[in-house]
C-alpha cells in the first residue's frame, strides 16, 4: 500500500509540474497580431467605415498592434477619387497609408469608372484581379472579414 502512495504522489507531482509549465508558457507567449480586412462597396458608408478603421487602430493601441486592409470596389470607390475626396477623408487615407494599412482599389471598378491609380488618393494599390478576389485572398491568409 505504501508503494501505491509513493507512485500516486510521483504521478501527481509530475502532472502538477506539467500543468504549471504549460500555464507559464501560455502566459509568456505574445498575443497573436490580428489581421482584419474591411470590405467597402457602399458610397453611403465610406465615412462610417473610415471611422471604424480609425476606432479599430485606436482601440488596439496603434497601427503596430493590428494588420488592417481596406478593399474598396463599386460605387464607394468614387469617394476616393483625388478630385472629389473631402479633406477629412484625404487626411485619414494619408495617415492609414503611413500606418501601413493596405488600401486596395478594385481593378474592375477602376476600369468601369475609367480611372487609374493616379486618379485616386495616394496610398492605394490596385487589386488587379478584382476586389472580391482580393478579399478572398486576404481571408485565405487568415484575415478576419468585416463588412460594416
Q: Domain check: are 26 and 98 in the same one?
A: no
Any idea what the CATH number is for the domain that residue 142 is in? 3.40.1260.10
Q: 110-119: which pairs have CB atoms within 8 A and are 24 or more residues apart?
A: 110/77, 113/77, 113/78, 113/81, 115/77, 115/81, 119/81, 119/82, 119/83
45 lies in the same domain as 108: yes
| Bridge partners (DSSP) listed for residue 38 | 70, 146
- Whether residues 99 and 47 share a domain: the answer is yes
Instruction: Indicate if the pLDDT at residue 2 is higher than 80.
Output: no
Same-domain status, 129 and 68 = yes
Question: What's residue 16's pLDDT?
Answer: 52
| Residue-wise pLDDT tens digits, 75-102 | 999 999 999 899 999 999 999 999 999 9
6/104 Cα distance (integer angstroms): 65
- Residue 23: per-residue pLDDT: 52
Position 93 scores a pLDDT of 97
Q: Do 5 and 67 fall within a single domain?
A: no
Task: Examine the domain organization and report whether 26 and 47 are in the same domain.
Answer: no
Instruction: Give yes or no for residue 74 having a pLDDT over 80.
Output: yes
* Lookup: cell for 57: 487602430
Same domain as 97, residue 38: yes
**What's the pLDDT at 88?**
96
User: Chain centroid to CA 51: how far?
Assistant: 14
The whole model's pTM is what? 0.79
Residues 115 and 42 in one domain: yes
Q: 90 and 18 in one domain?
A: no
Do 130 and 72 lie in one domain? The reply is yes
Residue 30 has what pLDDT?
A: 60
Q: In what order do the strands lie in the sheet with 102-106?
A: 124-127, 102-106, 66-72, 34-40, 144-146
Structure confidence by residue, pLDDT tens digits, 50-72? 999 999 999 999 999 999 999 99
Residues 80 and 135 in one domain: yes
pLDDT at 5: 59
Distance of CA 88 to the CA centre of its chain: 22
Give residue 6's domain range: 1-30
Contact 27, 37 (CB under 8 A): no
What is the mean pLDDT of the segment spanning 20-47? Answer: 78
Same-domain status, 25 and 38: no
Q: Count structural domains, the chain.
A: 2
Amino acid at each position: 500500500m505504501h508503494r501505491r502512495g509513493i507512485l500516486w504522489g510521483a504521478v501527481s507531482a509530475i502532472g502538477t509540474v506539467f500543468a504549471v509549465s504549460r500555464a507559464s508558457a501560455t502566459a509568456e507567449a505574445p498575443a497573436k497580431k490580428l489581421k482584419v480586412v474591411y470590405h467597402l462597396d457602399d458610397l453611403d458608408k465610406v465615412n462610417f467605415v473610415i471611422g471604424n478603421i480609425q476606432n479599430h487602430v485606436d482601440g488596439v493601441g496603434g497601427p503596430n498592434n493590428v494588420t488592417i486592409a481596406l478593399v474598396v470596389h463599386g460605387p464607394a470607390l468614387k469617394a476616393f477619387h483625388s478630385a472629389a475626396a473631402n479633406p477629412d477623408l484625404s487626411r485619414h487615407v494619408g495617415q492609414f497609408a503611413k500606418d501601413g494599412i493596405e488600401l486596395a482599389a478594385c481593378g474592375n471598378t477602376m476600369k468601369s469608372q475609367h480611372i487609374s491609380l493616379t486618379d485616386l488618393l495616394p496610398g492605394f494599390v490596385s487589386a488587379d484581379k478584382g476586389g472580391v478576389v482580393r478579399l478572398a485572398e486576404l481571408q485565405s491568409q487568415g484575415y478576419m472579414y468585416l463588412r460594416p
